[in-house]
């Protein structure tokens, strides 16, 4: 096809030659190069591949994406292609074990991923979606309140031994306090937790002051996970205090 393009060029009229040089040749060469590849890709019998090869393709497609939100979308898109892709993808825990809890509470989509992850190691990020839009406006309907944190932790603590990475970004101190309290009082230790980040993004907390949502002051600091998270090698605390003296 490329040879045909160049063979035809000398027989064209002068004005056609100039037009071809400026506009058409590059387009036609590009089409000649890429069209066979596109056709071959569409005709390739991908569903004839073994499951393990298909999963490798899925993993490359999902994890070679720069943004977390796009990664969430790509996993969903895979399950919408056909029945076989959906069955293969849902049956693979490692395709779902990285979860960003940023959807509307009570996190229906995220907990679907959580269930699909099965017994795989978990990498979790919990994000308070209280602020949204170009002006960072407050949306209380999406706020991660204390009762919502309790319901969230009720589910997460059932797999606390599987969590290897946990990043928490919360607006209010009261919700962070409840999160730390639930980790402290858990009967199961996060023995595989390697990395933990806790960020409080709300206003500064001062002793003898009340939190902005009306909860009592919190002078009591917890020992993180009651001292049972022995494998942590990365810890980041931002606007959060713990009991280091015990």
DSSP string, 175-213: HHHHHHHHHHH-SS--TT--EEEEEE-SSPP-TT---TT
Distance, CA of 195 to CA of 123 (rounded, Å)? 9
pLDDT range class, residue 3, cuts 50, 70, 90: low
pTM (global) more than 0.85 = no
**CA dihedral of residues 202, 208, 212, 213 (deg, nearest 10):** 120
Q: What is the pLDDT of residues 87-136, one digit of tens each?
A: 999 999 999 999 999 888 889 999 999 999 999 999 999 988 655 554 55
> What is the three-class DSSP state of 115?
helix
Distance, CA of 235 to CA of 48 (rounded, Å)? 46
Q: What is the pLDDT of residues 203-231, one digit of tens each?
A: 765 544 445 443 444 557 788 888 888 89
What is the structure's pLDDT at 128? 82
Distance, CA of 202 to CA of 148 (rounded, Å)? 18
What is the structure's pLDDT at 205? 55
Distance, CA of 26 to CA of 202 (rounded, Å)? 55
- Residue 175: pLDDT above 80? yes
CB 178 within 8 A of CB 149: yes
């Amino acid at each position: 096809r490329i040879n045909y393009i160049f063979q035809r060029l000398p027989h064209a009229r002068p004005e056609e030659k100039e037009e071809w040089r400026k506009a058409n040749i590059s387009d036609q060469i590009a089409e000649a190069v890429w069209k066979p590849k596109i056709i071959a890709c569409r005709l390739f019998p991908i569903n004839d591949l073994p499951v393990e090869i298909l999963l490798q393709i899925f993993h490359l497609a999902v994890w070679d994406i720069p943004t977390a939100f796009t990664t969430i979308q790509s996993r969903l898109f895979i399950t919408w292609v056909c029945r076989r892709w959906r069955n293969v993808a849902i049956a693979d825990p490692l395709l779902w074990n990285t979860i960003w809890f940023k959807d509307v509470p009570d996190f229906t989509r995220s907990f679907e991923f959580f269930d699909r992850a099965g017994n795989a190691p978990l990498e979790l990020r919990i994000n308070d979606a209280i602020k949204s839009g170009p002006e960072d406006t407050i949306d209380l309907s999406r706020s991660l309140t204390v009762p919502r944190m309790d319901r969230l932790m009720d589910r997460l603590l059932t797999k606390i031994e599987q969590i290897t990475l946990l990043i928490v970004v919360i607006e209010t101190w009261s919700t962070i306090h409840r999160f730390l309290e639930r980790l402290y009082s858990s009967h199961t230790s996060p023995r595989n937790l390697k990395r933990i980040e806790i960020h409080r993004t709300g206003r500064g907390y001062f002793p003898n002051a009340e939190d902005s949502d009306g909860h009592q002051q919190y002078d009591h600091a917890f020992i993180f996970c009651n001292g049972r998270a022995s494998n942590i090698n990365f810890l980041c605390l931002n606007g959060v205090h713990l009991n280091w003296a015990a």
